[in-house]
Amino acid sequence: MRRLFHIRNDCQEKVSTELVRTKPSRIVMEQLNIQGMMKNRHLARSIQQQRLYSFKKKIEHKCGKYGIQFVEVNRWHPSSKRCHSCGYVKPRLSLSERTFVCDSCGTTMDRDLNASINLSQYGA
């Protein structure tokens, strides 16, 4: 268990360093409803093990160190439900829907990619 902890921590260090090395002007992260996710027994254990809070802290710290703007988006922002192309917001989107299909303009793409584009445009 201790070994696994070190592997994960090491991985977080590497990924966060790689991110800031690409010299972005800013990094936008979404606030996750971790407590809410912990209530889902299928997710609870893996979420706890991933130590997302510590990952966020590492990125935030490195952004500060290299003068990169760090933006944390409120968890109520509909990054997943919103179509990055036309702005339509889906009333519902279940966790099992991995592909985003816009009911308004028909845009179809990977759910996480659509959410990432929305986050990258946040406040811009």
- Binding residues for Zn ion, per CB under 5 A? 83, 85-86, 88, 102, 104-105, 107
* Nearest approach, Cβ of residue 88 and Zn ion (Å): 5
Q: Toward Zn ion, which CB reaches closer, 17 or 104?
A: 104
Residue appearing with tokens 């070190």: 6
Q: Cβ contacts of residue 85 below 8 Å, gap of 6+?
A: 102, 105, 107
> Nearest distance from residue 95's CB to Zn ion, in Å?
21
Nearer to Zn ion, 37 or 109 (CB): 109
For the bound state, the minimum distance from the C-beta of residue 103 to Zn ion, rounded and expressed in Å, comes to 8
Cα distance between residue 37 and residue 12, in whole Å: 21
**In the complex with Zn ion, which residue's Cβ is closer, 38 or 105?**
105
Contacts of 4 (CB under 8 A, 6+ apart): 49
| CA–CA dist 98, 93 (Å, integer) | 9
Length of the chain (residues): 124
Minimal distance in Å, beta carbon 100 to Zn ion?
Answer: 9
Nearer to Zn ion, 19 or 101 (CB): 101
Q: Which residues pair with 72 in a beta bridge?
A: 29
